[in-house]
Amino acid sequence: MRDILFAEVDQLYDEMIEMRRYLHQYPELSFQEEKTAAFIQEQYNILDIPFQKNVGGNGIVATLQGAEAGLTVALRADFDALPIQDEKETSYKSKTDGVMHACGHDGHTATLLAVAKILKKYQHRLKGKVVFIHQHAEELAPGGAKPMIDAGALDDVDVIYGTHLWTSTPYGIVQTSPDNFMAAADRFKVEIQGVGGHGAIPHQTKDPIVVGSQLVTNLQQILSRRIDPLETAVLSIGSFHAGNAYNVIPSTATIEGTVRTFKPDVQQYIVEEMEKIIKGTCFGYDVDYHFDYAYGYPPVVNHPEHAEMIIALAKDIPDVTTAEMIQPSMTGEDFAYYLENKPGAFFFTGAQIENGFVPHHHPLFDFDERAMKIAAKTLISAVLHSNKSQ
């Protein structure tokens, strides 16, 4: 049966591309995905697969009951976009100013809809039940996964799988990890309140730029001198804003950044050390500050047997050249919440375009659409193997 379903994926490829490119042209930001949700609902109406809408927000959960008893397998795809201007020159370029699918969620959605269509066609030969989770708001914490779970998306689910089309990995490669796979992703902001003045008389000011610059340097010492080198963590400053004139020392400066960890004790230690360093640095310069630390998604931790199963199944897919376990990524994903509640695994499907690497969240982002076929075949394999359908 597997080979029959794989052939169906190949036959449906053009339709997958069409759906993906349509969604790419009409992206919607996290928590605002009303038209995208309506499009997904329309597809399930056409397929005559029952679904629930507005699950935990804009989420959709569709359910396909097989002909025989068996496990309930959930498959998840996200469908929100990012506040980025699409700078590609393609026929399917975003038509929404300042918003684009810069992370492949349009491809995730098209892939899962194709899987649903194929499995519906062979419903009479399926064992168990398949739950299709279309999740809103992955890109913006607190995210859509947790409210969907709280609303019952995982009720009666036995195992869950998901994939991310990954452009830093070449087409034909499937990757995962047997445990830690993606990091906890937190963000922070430090607002420094100094005393501004003329650039020619700095001694009459309390320069927040100097304080902020020292703070950027001092914070890096947490990882280099206070964390065990064998532990894995990232502390990155992504934004430093102060002033708007070349000859005026501003009154305030704002620093923003991210912390990525895998262990809760390491995460908490970094927060405590940040507080100490920020307080000490600002005290030394006699300025006030406000420190805001926002905990994001927890780490994505795969369940070993399910991650190993994904790799074994992927190796048997004709389009896959390599299926491998890799070191964890410091990127974050709210798929973490599903794996905190149910066994399963998350994996990368290589989708690097042939003429070069374009990173996720980039204005020129695009992916090799053939990767959707590999993603679909891997997810279908996981469904069949979970119930050992032949």
pLDDT at 356: 77
Domain boundary residue among 274, 297, 320?
A: 297
Distance, in Å, from the CA atom of 291 to the CA atom of 26, rounded to the nearest integer, reads: 37
**CATH, residue 55:** 3.40.630.10
Q: Which of 8, 138, 333, 368 is catalytic?
A: 138
pLDDT reported for residue 113: 98
- Known active-site residue 368: no
- Dist. CA 30–CA 23, nearest whole Å: 14
pLDDT of res. 48? 98
Of 242, 276, 297, the last residue of a domain is 297
Q: Which two tokens stand for residue 130?
A: 């398949």
Q: Do 69 and 140 belong together in one domain?
A: yes
Do 8 and 139 belong together in one domain?
yes
Predicted local distance difference test score (pLDDT) of residue 357: 84
Q: SS in 3 state form for the chain? A: CHHHHHHHHHHCHHHHHHHHHHHHHCCCECCCCHHHHHHHHHHHHHHCCCEEEEECCCEEEEEEECCEEEEEEEEEEECCEECCCCCCCCCCCCCCCCCECCCCHHHHHHHHHHHHHHHHHCHHHCEEEEEEEEECCCCCCCCCHHHHHHCCCCCCCCEEEEEEEEEEEECCEEEECCCEEECEEEEEEEEEECECEECCCHHHCECHHHHHHHHHHHHHHHHHHHCCCCCCEEEEEEEEECCCCCCEECCEEEEEEEEEECCHHHHHHHHHHHHHHHHHHHHHCCCEEEEEEEEEECCEECCHHHHHHHHHHHCCCCCCCEEEECCCECCCCCCHHHHHHCCEEEEEEEEECCCCCCCCCCCCCCCCCCHHHHHHHHHHHHHHHHCCCC
Of 5, 10, 60, nearest to 38 by C-alpha is 60
Q: Which of 80, 139, 334, 369 is catalytic?
A: 80
- Asked whether residue 236 falls in the same domain as residue 154, the answer is no
Indicate whether 290 and 237 sit together in one domain: yes
State the sign of the Cα–Cα–Cα–Cα dihedral 325, 330, 332, 338.
positive
Whether residue 133 is found in the same domain as residue 158: yes
Kindly report the backbone phi and psi dihedral angles of residue 364, in degrees, each rounded to the nearest multiple of 5, phi listed first.
-105, 15
Number of domains in the chain: 2
- Tell me, yes or no, whether 341 and 237 share the same domain: no
Residue 292, burial from CB neighbour count under 10 angstroms (0-12, 13-18, 19+): exposed
Closest CA to 105 of 19, 176, 187: 19
Residues 8 and 122 in one domain: yes
CA distance 131 to 191: 45
Here the tokens at position 122 are 């062979």
Q: Do residues 214 and 169 share a domain?
A: no
Q: Quick one: pLDDT at residue 389?
A: 47
What residues of the chain score a pLDDT lower than 50?
Answer: 389-390
Domain holding 284: CATH number?
Answer: 3.30.70.360
Residues 331 and 372 both lie in one domain: yes
Q: What burial class does residue 229 get, using C-beta atoms within 10 Å of its C-beta: 0-12 exposed, 13-18 middle, 19+ buried?
A: exposed
Domain boundary among 250, 266, 297: 297
Q: What is the C-alpha end-to-end distance of the chain, expressed in Å?
A: 6
| Co-location of 92 and 134 in the same domain | yes
Whether residue 132 is found in the same domain as residue 250: no
Q: Are residues 72 and 83 in the same domain?
A: yes
Catalytic residue status for 138:
yes
Domain that holds residue 75: 2-182+299-386
